[in-house]
Amino acid sequence: MLMCFYKRKIFFALILFVALFQTNNLFAQKVSDPTVIEGVNYFYSAKFPEAIATLRKAIATGSLAGDDEFAAYLYMAFSQIRRNTPQDSVDKNLYAAIRVNPNIEIDGTKFPPDLFNRFVAARKNSLGGLFVVSEPGAASVILLKQDGNKVMTRYTPALFTNLFAGPYELVIAKDGYKPQTALANVTASLTDTLIVLLNVKKSSIFKKWWTWGSGLAVATAIAIFQKTGKKGEKEGDLPEPPARPKP
């Protein structure tokens, strides 16, 4: 029994060594904050309380960004899982990591299955997609967040992925057609389809004149003016001069 426990301990140590080597390769050129690196190393040394305390300290500075911030929240959550922390606290940090960059997908071959699956489940429960089709096609689509900030631009047929669940506004435009706006509600773990029918713009009479040529447009305008009096009445021929008085 003792020998079995000893072998398991050695096996666990080997897993930690391989994981640490892989993670250092994974984050060596991405994570640069010393405190975050220290917290990650604590995690792979199975010092989970120290990892949590160190990563919490790094997050509290408010100066983390990009890969540093993502790694801090991710390994905070993973350390909490190893400490059997309540799921709400774990999910809070997983969602925070995803919010930093919803496009990051961690490598399932470099993390234990239980940790990897928790991260994948968190992404599935918070992200969805939207497929936009227009008639006619090749229209530009601007996707806006609730606060009006631009998310991204695509051309139809357009696929938007890794969107946080919730309402979005879209502006669809194409030369020669009336621009349209639409509202779409993104559902987590699903990709919804939005079909937009664009209407042709109606040109004014002035635009039609100028398409014939400037000379004809001016001539047409003059002709209309000459046929109309000040009060909109049509002018007739000039009157004959008065006859000479008879002797």
**Domains, the chain:** 7-111 (1.25.40), 126-197 (2.60.40.10)
- In whole angstroms, what is the distance from residue 70 CA to residue 27 CA? 11
pTM above 0.85, yes or no: no
Mean pLDDT of 87-112: 94
Q: What is the pLDDT of residues 141-187, one digit of tens each?
A: 999 986 667 788 999 999 999 999 999 999 999 999 999 999 999 99
Structure tokens at 172: 């669809």
Question: Which of the four pLDDT bands, split at 50, 70 and 90, describes residue 201?
Answer: confident
- CB neighbour list of residue 138: distance below 8 Å, 6 or more residues apart: 155, 156, 174
Q: What is the pLDDT of residues 29-41, one digit of tens each?
A: 489 999 999 999 9
Mean pLDDT of the chain: 79
pLDDT at 119: 97
> Using an 8 Å Cβ cutoff, are 176 and 202 in contact?
no
Question: Which of the four pLDDT bands, split at 50, 70 and 90, describes residue 12?
Answer: very low
- In whole angstroms, what is the distance from residue 76 CA to residue 60 CA? 12
> Using an 8 Å Cβ cutoff, are 179 and 208 in contact?
no
